[in-house]
Structure 1
Amino acid sequence: MWGLYVQSSMSFSMARKSFSNDLYIFSTFDNSEHETYFLGSPHLDSIAESDSDQAYYRAKALIRLLNGCLLLRGDLTFTYDEDICFFRPNSVIKAYSNRKNDLSIVEYEELVNPFGSNVEVKEQAEQSYLRDCLILAKENPLIRQTIVFLVLSKLDALYFLTNTFKIYEIILSDLGINKNKATYKRELQNNFPEGIRKYIDFFLLGNFKEYVNSEKGAGILSRHVSTNQPYDKAPLDLEEIDSNIRNFINHWLRIKMQERFGYYYTVEYKPSREEYMKDEDYDF
């Protein structure tokens, strides 16, 4: 059995929930009775111990999908280790690392689809938004790509606008909307519920495309460099883009969940606001 070491403030509670049919968090105790948490999956257990590279890249792709789904509701995610552990039947835990590089075709293939074929999966998870997001990500390549792009946009500031633009293109295409503003306003705008229309209008009718594509607008974050594409409007708020793209995905998934399950969730992403402690907070 394979396990990828993970950390999060959610570890304790997630290890005690059946939140997905395809992956789970489990724990072990060391000699000091310290609880350590791992990501496990039947899609990992189908890989032989001799193929630790594939096991690691698959686990890495699975934890990214989990993190991407978690980002649709908030900002808490899991961090993970560079080693992957194999749990042998005799209770010996073997850690594997020292992969040759992180740019292999194996990593690419697992990122595209980390769900193994002919893997028996038990239908035991409790119904929840997280469970159903992961089911859709498993079944629908476009949804899986969207979740991957969302989580990859958080790896580095340079990836943010490029991956957000990819998400915007995927959802518009799936909704049957070309990127012509006039055609959308004239023929399609009133066909969509108010909830998702708000986000279509923000990304399509606002200055998002022009800003992202112009070095004069987004600077080093732009999709293109060394172009003469003008941008003479106010810079866009990156936090607003971040919040809106997550909720654009949420409202798109409402449609997908209604089609797949016959129900949907009214989930909205709300940024977490951390406040610094005040002097009176230290008066216990």
Structure 2
Amino acid sequence: MWAINIYSSLTLGLSTKISEHFNVFREFNQSEHEDFFFSSYHLDDIPKEEPLRASYRAKALLQMFNGILLLSGDLILDYDLHNIFFLEKGKKDSYEWSRHTIYKTNRELEYEELQNPFQPKPEHLYTYKNVPKNDKNRKNYLVDFFDYAYKDEFVKEVLTLFILSKKDILFILINTTKIVETIEYDLGITNATSAEEKSKLLSEEFRQAYKFFKDKKSKFSHFSNSEYGSGIFARHGVSDQKKYHDKEGNLLPAISFEEIDKKTRTLIYEWINYKLENDKGYRYPPVIIENLDEPMKDEDYNFDL
């Protein structure tokens, strides 16, 4: 079993939220200090001789997990990809830990694991012991949303695009547009008429977020496509056809990245909620994302993910 160290104020609470796709557990080191680890059966088919592959797959899983966390707040799991641990049976059925330090990189391997970190479900999943029944059965949005990332290719893709936009601000407009288009495709929205019909089935929060991106008055598409509007962040290069002016020729105001971030979170959260309600008959309450006291800066996006 592969496991990776995680660090966050969330770890103790997460260690009680059991999912079949991930496990957060704690161990006491020689100094009697608590260490928390993330593991998953999706890592278990990787042999001990391939720690680099294991670290890339763990990174892809943890990035999606952090993407789900960021839909409702700003807390994430930090983790150490330079060291990954392998747990195996030793002598007399005892378990032994071995630490593997990662010294090299392999971009093709990282790309491969980012594309598909999920593996087929084993015939016999590990059964967690000493977990109260109310913990096993308790609804938790992290568990439900991660389950959707596993069984729905579009959810996996959207969460990955979202978290990558948080890693580097240069991705925000490119990835946000891809997120909106993927959600539209999944919902069968092809034009204004289908958008209006489909929106009736979704929450008011979703409708308002979607309107922000698609309403002509919002100018999001104009802003994100035009180098004159969003500069180096634009989805396209410089072009005389991509001016960012009103009918009178005045330069339009820039759209707040803080607002784009807030509407993107809402759109994704309410979309997955809609799928969950159709599938399991329940949903989670809307998330109220407060405005920040100060406008978001470049460094606000550079989470160590």
Q: Structure 2 length as normaliser, TM-score?
A: 0.81
Distance 1:269 1:111, change over 3 A: farther
**Which sections of structure 1, spanning at least 5 residues, go unmatched?**
276-284
Structure 1 residues 62 and 188, CA, compared in 2 at 3 Å: closer, same or farther?
closer
- Determine whether 1:117 maps to 2:120: yes
Aligned pairs (5 A) from 1:12-23: 12-15=12-15, 17-23=16-22
Residue 35 to residue 61, structure 1, CA distance change in 2 (3 Å): same
Instruction: Specify the alignment match of 2:278 in structure 1.
Output: 259
Give the Å deviation of 1:149: 0.9
Aligned counterpart for 2:100 among listed residues 82, 85, 96: 96
Matched AA of 2:162: L
Q: Over residues 139-180 of structure 1, what are the superposed CA-to-partner deviations in whole Å (9 max), with x where a residue is unaligned?
A: 0000110111111111111122211111111111222223xx
Name the structure 2 match of 1:85. Answer: 85
Once residues 52 and 272 of structure 1 are traced to their aligned partners in structure 2, the CA distance between those partners, rounded to angstroms, is 41
- CA offsets 1:46-90 (integer angstroms, 9 cap, x no match): 322112122111111111111111111111011111221112334
- Paired position in structure 1 for 2:23: 24
**1: CA distance, partners of 2:5 / 2:20:** 19
Residue 7 of structure 1 is matched in structure 2 by 7
| Preserved CA contact (<8 Å) 1:20 1:126 | no
Structure 2 regions of 5+ residues with no counterpart?
128-135, 246-251, 295-305
1: CA distance, partners of 2:198 / 2:50? 50
User: C-alpha distance in 1, partners of 2:40/2:293?
Assistant: 33
Counterpart in the other structure of 2:209? 199
| Candidates 166, 173, 186, aligned match of 1:154 | 166
Instruction: Report the CA distance shift for 1:134/1:121 in structure 2 as closer, same or farther (over 3 A).
Output: farther
Among candidates 176, 181, 195, match of residue 164 of structure 1: 176
Report the alpha carbon displacement of residue 114 of structure 1 after superposing the two structures with TM: 1.3
C-alpha distance 273-28 of structure 1, shift in aligned 2 (>3 A): farther
The letter of the residue matching 1:146 is: V
Identity %: 34
Distance verdict in 2 for CA 1:272–1:54, change over 3 Å = farther
Q: Secondary structure at the match of 1:189?
A: helix
Within 5 Å, which residues of 2 pair with 1:1-284? 1-15=1-15, 17-82=16-81, 83-90=83-90, 91-104=95-108, 106-119=109-122, 120-121=124-125, 124=136, 126-178=138-190, 183-184=191-192, 188-189=195-196, 191-193=198-200, 194-205=204-215, 206-228=218-240, 229-232=242-245, 233-271=252-290
CA displacement at 1:121 relative to structure 2: 3.6
- Counterpart AA for 2:117: P
3-state DSSP class of the match of 2:107? Answer: coil
Q: Find the aligned partners of 2:291 and 2:48 in 1 and give their Cα distance.
A: 40
**C-alpha RMSD of matched pairs (Å):** 2.2
Matched letter for residue 189 of structure 1: E
- Higher mean displacement: 168-177 or 115-124: 115-124
For 1:175 and 1:96, the matched residues in 2 are separated by: 43
CA distance in 1, matches of 2:279, 2:126: 19
Length, aligned pairs only: 268
Asked if 2 retains the 8 angstrom alpha-carbon contact of 1:58 and 1:110, the reply is yes
Aligned pair in 2 of structure 1 residues 59, 198: CA closer, same or farther (>3 Å)?
same
